[in-house]
Structure 1
């Protein structure tokens, strides 16, 4: 090193190279502990020497997709969130494929990455099932710009090497419908055929989504063979009976009890409890709200939720203290809950499940809850003590006092001032809330708060209730309100309520793209035990006599999708 004329420092080439290497080494050491993945991401995190990774990856009954990355690599950092989303999306494929990661930027993993022949990042490798300890896998050759393309690449690999993984369901299409019976076992309850176009991956994704279920067999058939059977809508699904008949599954318009219970739970345990204490006026609003719930919440008198609401109402009406605090409120709920009287502690959404966190959920559940309460209240309209405005004034007071979105409360209040003037009967109350909801949907359509997977519509749509619609006057819809009333009374009736007793929808499952919505709703229905029990079944002797139901959402019908868009 020598000083120049102006005092600048000049470094000879050899020393500069050494200095650069040293800086890079120190930099890599500084970030090696800054890993991009955690066990909560649904991936297996490999580390340590080569033999430990080989033990983890070899001789498994499923394939591995391994992401070899470096925590200092910018592209690896950008790719990590996508890989995490993939892990969430295909967690139901765990019997067929699982994801792993290895950070080559960490010193302890350097030899392992060298032994696997990793020279760049991120490198995706696929290791087949029952691979040997010395296997280094095949480079993943599919597209990787989106979760759906990664799923497609995995499926292509599976089909290429399907003979190596005998326990996975058949992904190849049927050429003859009767061949489906070759896959039926002793525990099979439902046999489903998924009809789709040749370019579609959706059927194969549904098959893998349900691959852990031994009571359901799903096979796919392509358009060219399906048309011979009279199927003209793709994708579509049919239940096939071994007797030679085909059941047309017709979706019923219904509401999930699980959504109502989730809305109730969040309302009682969070939105009300967020107040540190209740003023005299707040306490009166709360008493009115709980009283209405205890009267009209759907369910039999001996159901756990209704029993709990009766107990809560009695406790609250008898409260004589000077001040009710949040702590006292929550303690009261905890004390009153028993095995025979309780509500869920957490919220799990089924019909109100949004395409990603932040969409739908609680607001959707509250709309469903109050629509249901207005219809349930109408069943008591012949009671001399019946008050037709009771549910709506309760809703107005609750929203003004407790609903967390203050702008929403303000906007609802503008229309709710007309309740006293326009509501004189139970039917008036049902239609008033319907108009209010459609008005809210009109103003929120296209708003950034709207879930793009469930656009807000004017409900019911012409497809779901053609008789409800009169001639359109410009952009304004003209309604046959008598028919609309009948429609709403049917949709929100107790007999159409889907019970939550058999369980809830798929936990954490998130719809991403429109072609993923069917997968989400199929899984939610199957796991809730409502895939078939909630459907009307009409037998026909041939598929030629059946009309394929539409391919989107739970219940597999356009009608249900439009119901859900309204919420």
Structure 2
């Protein structure tokens, strides 16, 4: 009866699930019809470490491959496939070190181009997992995973079981997964040239030994063998009591136990990969003595790997703001918004020295005040160089890597500094209790998308951000999000050419750095989130930063001042060179041939007069007097108020050479008129004794002038020319340099001229105001006397 009830309940539950599944699938189909582009995108990208199969590469990947492959056939519109995709990505990341023996792939059957491939392999439902052995034939359809688990650990065990069913001959890329006997171990070093042999003692149903063997597959100078607990002779010889446990066997015949924090796969792998002499295949063996040499352009500095250095953060700022942004001469649109968010976050949360913080805040204020839709990098560079001379503000120039230094110039450095900088900013934002938990992450995302030089890196980070950044809802989750995705990148780049052999990319923090951050659950490694968050807050706090190798603030400000002075001098020299070039270009222009002939005729008369030792009075203005421009082309002047005329600002010194070159034609015309006047004056009959030495000179249309007055007026004219003042008009001709005395200002105060009428009005107003004040005084005095008299009456 109970069995029947159970069956009936199961049938009823199955109907409910069936109806729910049908409605769910209908909803997904409806969404796919509305948004057909989702079927083309797929669920996996290159940054997920999953091989994406297409019609172009499916045969080359699956057929006759040296490695086994486990493939997921999915449809991007399938809800179960979408829910399963994070597990598949985690699996690819977890068994990344197994790649010479087995790899993870996926193909989107919802894509029309991939439809024939899915039909070829007999796929009818999604998701479907198939295992392809190494050296599969073209007609192979793979072995299906029936009832496969939906977790990484179960899938890992399934893959190992499939790999062990491979027929002979055994694939050379796959290591031996069977158990080892004592006889094999006694002769192991005679047939194998390795420095370490790791023996993992475990029970028969344990997978740790086989997983550890595959984890060390890409490493040289070490081998792993699993020994079952039933191997009594070897167990008794080493006195093994814990299963699992790991022992190291050296060529000298010595057995030593490998001490780890927890007896689990992850801790074994981490410890064995860092044994002396163990190195990834294809990588040079790191030699400690090389670190003592100058293998980079800077001397390698001793540092503490467990601390963060302010020198790295300031070096990152310099490279980011002065090197990477310099590749964008004009910043506009989305890039300008990204720059503003980036600088704003730095100004709010960067835990730097006062001089650096002051500069970041000044740049942030300047950017917020800019209203243009685009920004030139030259103006940003001026702000970074503090050309506005904001007091006590400077950003060091150059890089000085300490915690992020690499063994070679192309290792670590700026990428390490960028990760460290944003880790520090997320922790500082949490300490400040800001309202927006994604402020720092979004600033990092937009900066990397718009400015980061490595385009592939920017694409990978954008893929990670699109996947899960929107789920960040608290400041602490922002700190953990950045940490987890940094580890994801470390896992993806482990073993790449960009990995520094002295600083291998690991899942950080290591067990040595934070033992309490690690744990084991059901035999699997886990992270203790609370302990991890406490560690991150302490590690990236402002109090934990080291100030070693920093330049002194006083020296930094002094160098900045010297650079600004040098820059001003260079700008002045450049402007002078440009001015001289313009003058040379102007003087290189020759006058027309007609003017040259007239000048040639006039020069003998001038030379003859000079030889005679006499001075000739001119009725035209001298050639250095600035001719008045055409009134029709002059801008409208402001009307005078009560006789006051505001004079334009005057220059203290006038470059006469530049002035003459710029007004060459006008001066030549004035010179010709002056010469003609001289000739007419010399030809005119002079009265006896009427020379400059004997009496007044009678000019055309002028009153007699004494020589002393003429000399004084000539000196006054030269003074006016040097001070840049010109009077008169073109109609006045030669009389403009000798203005009438009535036209002069009677008084000049603060560069404003006052006429006699102005002074008279002022005196009159002053007199009237004085009379008014006197009348008011007498009136109030009389009123006061009357009031006292009334009070005195009985």
TM-score norm. by structure 2 comes to 0.36
Relative CO higher for 1 or 2, CA cutoff 8 Å, sep ≥ 6? Answer: 1
